[in-house]
Chains A and B, each alone.
Chain A
Amino acid sequence: MSDHDVAVLGVGMHPWGKWGRNFVDYGVTAARDALADAGLEWRDIQFVSGADTIRNGYPGYVSGATFAQALGWQGAPVASSYAACASGATALNAARAQILGGLCDVALVVGADTTPKGFLAPTAGERGDDPDWLRFRLLGATNPTYFAFYARRRMELFGATPADFAKVKVKNAAHGLSNPNARYRKAVTEDEVMASPVVADPLRLLDICATSDGAAAVVVSSLEYAQRRGAAGPVRIAAISTVTPSYPNTVIEMPNFTTDSAAAAPESPVTFRDAIAQGAYAEAGLGPDDLDLAEVYDLSTALELDWYENIGLCGAGEAEKLVHDGATTIGGRVPVNPSGGLACFGEAVPAQALAQVGEVVWQCRGDAGERQVEGANVGLTVNQGLFGHGSSVILVR
């Protein structure tokens, strides 16, 4: 146990779906659930850290204050973080820093979103200096366009097939069947995946995650506070990695038009996605062999396979074999996405990294019900937000 650990006292979620209500409602539901799970009153919270949404106007940009007001002003300082899909981890890290710096004992972290139907789109207006706006305007480069580039690379480099990708969806759909917070709870067959409409070749509708409404919240505290509250052997956060890329970043990433040029600077053998998990392993003093489970960001089925390699579960080109052998299925060597992943949730951007943390906490407490991973004591989450945001959390019990 390192002196950088903090305790997770409680987690809560509002179920994912397309509910059409204000994101604040979902966030408050998740926050109250997390507080109840922690056995704390809202007025016990000394710091509120919000993960922002950019799709819901001003309240979304000041989410820490928005949630604090909705729960009832009680004076606690707030922070609001935006890091795209990595916002939840960034908000969690802000809370952890307050605790480790001795500025507070216990903090609440909340992320929630209400999303539009269909593709995630850039902010409206004529914004010719915003690469996120320009990539839609000049290229029609949607998010699945980039996912498809990566999927095609796996096919080219490793001989991956659409059937390999479909197997990931089948696995995640099976995992999520009994998850009460998942939006999609229905078994899916490989044939169904491969018969679904092509979105961005070679990816089909069932290869790509939907956009959802949802919320997740986490209550974190110092280990001393947890002990004072009588929390016996709480799940601990052993690492949070929020690294950025190193120049030259030579993998094309949303929302960019180009990679960095490697003409004048040496190219690192470690890709940005590799570096995200490596940062977390280094901080925790753990490695891939220590993991009992992982929650990875399956924006697409093919991307889940990339993550297996990025977090060190296997070497380059070996991910297809892992999913074929059932190594990443519950009951296998290292189950991946026992929650059902984005395949079953759909993406609620600022809530998603916190939902990953919530699942690992439930797994490590043995509270995951039918999807419980036997003997889960160490879990890793990993995700990446556009504009260069890494996110990986290691939880241990």
Chain B
Amino acid sequence: MTTKERVPAVDGWFTLDDADPRLLGNRCRACGSYFFPKASGFCRNPACSGTEFDEVPLSRRGTIWSFTTNHYAPPAPFVASDPFEPYSVAAVELPEERMVVLGQVADGVDPAALRVGAEVELTLGTLYEDDDHEYVVWKWKPTEGGAS
């Protein structure tokens, strides 16, 4: 049995570092606004004329702003499991960046344990697989004690 190659489901949006995975955003050098996915060209703050950005890893931990569990398979281009398994999506507030970032909730997390305000951290998980590849995406996972 061969091991499938692990590849990111989208290029350049996150690190493939299992020990400390991070979303990769960028930050305007002029005003300090954060962007994810990365901004390019011009800063989107209308009060800023910045054109230069530094790539920055976003905070790994945040708190749940809201969440839901989807019980119906979405349409393409989502690649649904067969048979379809419900999955959760969380909107997570990052304290430093002062922004909310969406992500699926890590596999195996009981939706009943999710709470608004609970702390979560970034992890990597499988989005879908084909014969040769495992496509990896960022997911949110409750921290120890964060799912209280």
Contacts and interface: CB of A to CB of B under 8 A. Distances in A.
A93 B87 CA distance: 41
Name, among B33, B68, B96, B99, the residue most crowded by chain A CB atoms within 10 Å (CB to CB): B68
Interface string B20-51: 00000000100111111100000011111000
Contacts of A118: 75
Interface size on B, as a range, is: 35 or more
Contact of A137 (B9, B69, B70, B91): B9
Contacts of A128: 10
A156 B68 contact: no
Given A138-B10, A149-B67, A261 B111 contact: no
Given A139-B89, A139-B104, A201-B111, A262 B99 contact: yes
Interface size on A, as a range, is: 35 or more
A121 B35 contact: no
B7 interface: no
A121 B74 CA distance: 8
B78 A199 contact: no
A243 B77 CA distance: 31
A265 B68 contact: no
Contacts of B71: 197-201
A98 interface: no
Interface string B74-104: 1111111000000101010000111111111
A173 B117 CA distance: 35
Nearest to A137: B77
A259 interface: yes
B16 interface: no
B99 A261 contact: yes
A262 B97 CA distance: 7
Nearest to A122: B77
Given A121-B76, A140-B89, A260 B44 contact: yes
A200 B70 contact: yes
Contacts of B104: 139-140
B74 A263 contact: no
Contacts of B32: 263-264
B66 interface: yes
A150 interface: yes
Contacts of A252: 65-66, 91, 100, 102
B10 A134 contact: yes
A265 B31 contact: yes
A128 B37 CA distance: 12
Name, among A137, A258, A259, the residue most crowded by chain B CB atoms within 10 Å (CB to CB): A258
Contacts of B76: 121, 124, 136
Nearest to A259: B100
Contact of B66 (A138, A144, A156): A156
B98 A262 contact: yes
Contacts of B68: 144-145, 148-149, 152, 200-203
A203 B67 CA distance: 12
Given A121-B75, A140-B89, A257 B102 contact: yes
20 contacts: A121-B76, A138-B137, A139-B89, A140-B78, A140-B87, A142-B72, A145-B68, A145-B70, A152-B66, A156-B117, A198-B69, A202-B68, A248-B45, A250-B100, A252-B91, A258-B99, A261-B34, A261-B35, A261-B99, A263-B99
